[in-house]
Amino acid sequence: MSMKAWTSAASTRPPHQRLRCRVHAATLPLLFPRGELGWHPGILRGDAPAVMAGDAICSYCVMEGNNLRYLQNHQRDIRAECYQGLYDAVAGGVADGRDFGQCVILPSRFVGGPRYMQQCYKDAMAIAKLDAAAEDLRSSAKNCTVHTFAADVTDYAQVCEALTAAHLCVGHIDILVCCAGSSRPGRFLEQDLSAFRWTMDLNYHGTVHTVKAVLPHMVAAGAGHLVLVASAAAVCGIVGLSSYCPTKYAVRGLADSLRNELLASGVRVSVAYPPDTDTPGYAAEQKTKPPECHAFSRAAGDVLYSPEQVARCMVHGIEAGAHHLPSPDFGQNVMIAASAGLTPRRYPVALECLLAPLVVLALRLFGWVVDSAVMKAARLRA
């Protein structure tokens, strides 16, 4: 049935039914099922449950006349964007319908206030998680005001828009924590170049975009604190993470450079090195890591820390004004201290000089252990 036929039929119905019909008229051509199965290959064969995205949109958005007219007038673009969202997800490693789960598939070009979804279903999921985290903070912390602003950090224009809104809402930004990041594990020879570009865009360029948008305000105010989140992978290369480790080395290099550049500005710079942390991102990585990467982790102790442990160490380091923020992994802290270069040292110089020979021997032994584990796993795979 054509769009015109749907809207004409709706004009004879009561007001509440007219709204529902208009919503379905606008969204029916999307033909995207949702629910427990989410997206799955059966959609291409037509055997998916015929539940339309209209219900999901009704649940998550306040549908106004201008939004409906936009949907009606841009069906071709909207369908293309939805298909692109699915393609990007599959290209990013999503192969099981359960990974989409209860996700909401929405077009990117909703108009109106900031509550409308900005890019695709990924943004809908991210905004929902952001809102849930904000509610947790409001309910658990006393006298705490929480505002949320969503942006794709790989898009500098979006970052500037979101941070301008934040600046207008809360005033001067005292601390900026750049922690957006992800990884696509895989062997270097088997990964496509797009994985390297995607990871660098998100992990490194996303950090650059965010700092670029906020730093001028901090410098003008003569105060502020930048916290750039690198990784344990910023101090040692790891098999299976060749598209990830360089991005975190780059983040660390950026933090060290900015610290030196901003010495006279009143703006402090810190860099954090979270070890393996129990997060949804870490769980997703385990599905695609090669056996050698798992062998490396086991040889290193295979310790998984809680987000609370990692965050607590970071906060203590920020409060102490440290450049290299501590983590709950003592061995990792020693490696970072041993590679501090010209940046501020974490431990007293006398103690580092005294322990230097032992640290060198310990790191050499640790390197031999993990290299042996990786070689053994490689031989087993072959």
The amino acid at 280: P
Query: Strand, helix or coil at 175?
Result: strand
3-class state of residue 56 by DSSP:
helix
Kindly state the DSSP code that residue 189 receives in the 8-state scheme.
G
Are the CB atoms for 173 and 217 separated by under 8 Å? yes
204 included as an active-site residue: no
Give the whole-angstrom CA distance, residue 13 versus residue 10.
Answer: 6
**In this structure, how many other beta carbons lie within 10 angstroms of the beta carbon of residue 342?**
7
- What is the Cα gyration radius of the chain? 24
How many beta carbons lie within 10 A of that of residue 151, not counting itself?
Answer: 25
Select which of 116, 121, 204, 244 is catalytic: 244
User: Over 228-255, what HEC string results?
Assistant: EECCHHHCCCCCCECCCHHHHHHHHHHH
Torsion angle, alpha carbons of 136, 141, 147, 151, to 10: -50
CA angle 360, 365, 368 (to 5 degrees): 125
- Number of C-alpha atoms within 13 angstroms, CB side, residue 226? 33
* Both structure tokens of 137: 């903070």
Q: Which two structure tokens, joined as six digits, stand for 43?
A: 């959609």
* Residue tagged 């983590």 (tokens): 327
* Separation of alpha carbons 177 and 163, rounded Å: 13
Contact by Cβ (8 Å): 185, 241? yes
Catalytic residues: 244
